A and B are shown apart, each in its own frame.
Chain A
Amino acid sequence: MDPTTLVNTLVAAWPLLWTGLQMTLFVTVVSLVVAMPLGVVTCLMNLSKFRALRGIAKFYIWLIRGTPMLVQGFYIYLAMPQLIQATIAPDFRIDVVTASVVTLILNAGAYASEIFRGAIQSVPDGQTEASRSLGVSHFKTMQKIVIPQAVRICLPSLVNQCIITLKDSTIMYAIGLPEIMNQAKVYVGRTFDSLATYTWVAVIFLIIISVLMIVSSQLEKRMRA
């Protein structure tokens, strides 16, 4: 594989790869933006004193952790619409972008909620006790003492979850989302240029994820400072 071929492939494949990359980034960003609040809500439900709320949160996390994402994607795109058509809405349709985003949201939300829970629980009880002993309410203690410390603890893990969601978005290739792998496959189908094309796909991911990893390690450094 000489450098000229590599560069030529990038130039030729770029229109398709760029379209795919935009889709990849779009579904990743939209999913993460929705998944983070979902994770916070799930975490608060999980730590709630109401058993029903805890039950719902635990069931959701169990369901997501206990099934492969590929199965979830097929289920949401193909199986669930059949169920809905047969029961409540005969005309129900879901497009592949929506199905992919929903799958990624449900996944990242469940894992983010566990990250938040771990972070909140890793703030020592003494912090809560010190604040409550001063007469500060439970709510204010969470808001001003526990959550600010938990956020610092979980930032590196959250960046890591962003990396995972970005990579997981390629699984949606299997239900036909026109993301970067799908577009690369289209290009390879025309040219049989597997080596150079998939090398570029890998390089593109490496570049984006390296940036995120640098952000993560900077956050970790600042946390320790």
Chain B
Amino acid sequence: MDKNNIKIHVEGLTKDFGDNHVLRGIDIDIHAGEVVCVIGPSGSGKSTFLRCLNRLEEATSGTITIDGASITDPKADVDKIRQHVGMVFQQFNLFPHYTVKQNIMFAPVELKLKSKEEAAATAERLLARVGLAEKIDAKPRSLSGGQQQRVAIARALAMDPDIMLFDEPTSALDPEMVGEVLDVMRELAQQGMTMVVVTHEMGFAREVADRVIFVDEGVIQEEGTPAEVMGNPQNPRTKSFLSKVL
């Protein structure tokens, strides 16, 4: 891939929580349209890595550049950068005092990017896309976990992001609801969205990812195509991890 379409550039990223060195130096370039799945044992730092990408966690050192703009720069306009980087959380985090429609309209309207009418039309279109058109006026608590997560994806898409971050999007779901969320993500990947997905869904990673990175002890231990990393791992840590989860 050529250098001109690098969407995310990470160099020397470290993150300490007190004496706990969670990230010990991560370097990676992620290109436009690429789907990168981040796998690794719990506590390996993979979620922290993802949360550093939109500065929900402050990096201890290193630089992260999103579309050419440094988000680790103390003077960075973080809100501006985040508008182009959608995020989906393990716990969905829908706003319980808003309806599904209001959840999706909230950011575009508050940030004056869309009129109420435009935002409402977008909400309808996105809900149809995630298969929840009939839930537009429902409150989040009346939805199943899988439905809530699909609404959360629609809420992130309402900002027209060109990067989407997924932080274990199916880990809090009952098994029978995992599929519906992965289907939406698969479709998004096919449409060319740049995606970074922290996941335990090895089947999804194998099928959808362009690149799999295996993180352990705060560094990228191994990376490559799913066939390389998952089919023929070289690093003993990767082998050991995959033998437990596959």
Docked Cα-Cα span, A126 to B149, in Å, equals: 14
Contacts of A131 in B (CB 8 A): 95, 106-107
User: Are the C-beta atoms of A136 and B93 separated by less than 8 Å?
Assistant: no
Q: Answer yes or no: B82 CB below 8 A from chain A CBs.
A: yes
Q: Chain A: how many interface residues by the 8 Å CB criterion? A: 18
Known pairs A129-B56, A134-B107 / 15 extra A-B pairs, C-beta < 8 Å: A126-B91, A126-B93, A127-B95, A129-B87, A130-B152, A133-B56, A133-B156, A134-B86, A135-B81, A135-B82, A135-B111, A137-B79, A144-B110, A149-B97, A152-B97
Cα of A127 to Cα of B93 in the assembled complex, Å? 6
Is the beta-carbon distance between A129 and B97 smaller than 8 angstroms? no
- List of A residues within 8 angstroms of B96 by Cβ: 149
List chain B residues, Cβ under 8 A from A127: 93, 95
Interface size on B, residues (CB 8 A): 26
A141–chain B nearest beta-carbon distance, Å: 9
**Which A residues touch B91, using CB under 8 A?**
124, 126
Q: Which residues of B sit under 8 angstroms from A37, Cβ to Cβ?
A: none
Interface residues of A in 121-151 (CB under 8 A from B): 124, 126-127, 129-137, 140, 144-145, 148-149
Known contacts A149-B96, A149-B97; A136 and B79 CB within 8 A of each other: yes
In this assembly, does B54 line the interface, its C-beta being within 8 Å of a C-beta of chain A?
yes
For B8, list chain A residues within 8 Å (CB).
Answer: none
Chain A nearest Cβ from B151, distance in angstroms: 11
Interface string of B153-189 (1 = CB under 8 A from A): 0011001000000000000000000000000000000
Please report B residues at the A interface, Cβ cutoff 8 Å: 54, 56, 79-87, 89, 91, 93-97, 106-107, 110-111, 152, 155-156, 159
Tell me the bound Cα distance from A153 to B159 in angstroms: 30
- Contacts of A145 on B, CB cut-off 8 Å? 95
Shortest Cβ gap from B110 to chain A (Å):
6
Contacts of A135 in B (CB 8 A): 79-84, 107, 111, 159
Which chain B residue has the least Cβ–Cβ distance from A130? B93
Nearest residue, chain B, Cβ from A144: B110
Question: Does the CB pair A136–B97 fall under 8 Å?
Answer: no
Q: Which of A124, A129, A130, A145 has the most CB of B within 10 A?
A: A130
B137 CB → nearest A CB, Å:
16
- Cβ of A136: which chain B residues have Cβ within 8 Å of it? 79, 106-107, 110-111
CA distance A127 to B152 in the complex (A): 12
Do the beta carbons of B82 and A133 come within 8 Å of each other?
A: yes
User: In whole Å, how far is B66's beta carbon from the nearest beta carbon of chain A?
Assistant: 12
Q: Report yes or no: A134 in contact with B97, Cβ–Cβ below 8 A.
A: no
Question: From residue B42, how far is it (CB to closest CB) to chain A in Å?
Answer: 18
Q: In whole angstroms, how far apart are the Cα atoms of A210 and B211 in the complex?
A: 65
Asked if A133 and B97 sit within 8 Å, CB to CB, the answer is: no
Partner of A130, one of B79, B89, B111: B89
A-B contact pairs, 5 of them (CB 8 A): A130-B87, A130-B93, A133-B56, A133-B86, A134-B155
Across the A-B interface, give the 8 residue pairs with the lowest CB-CB distance, nearest first: A135-B83, A134-B107, A130-B93, A126-B93, A133-B87, A135-B82, A135-B79, A126-B91
Q: In the complex, what distance in Å separates the CA atom of A130 from the CA atom of B148?
A: 13
Shortest beta-carbon distance from B72 to chain A in Å: 16
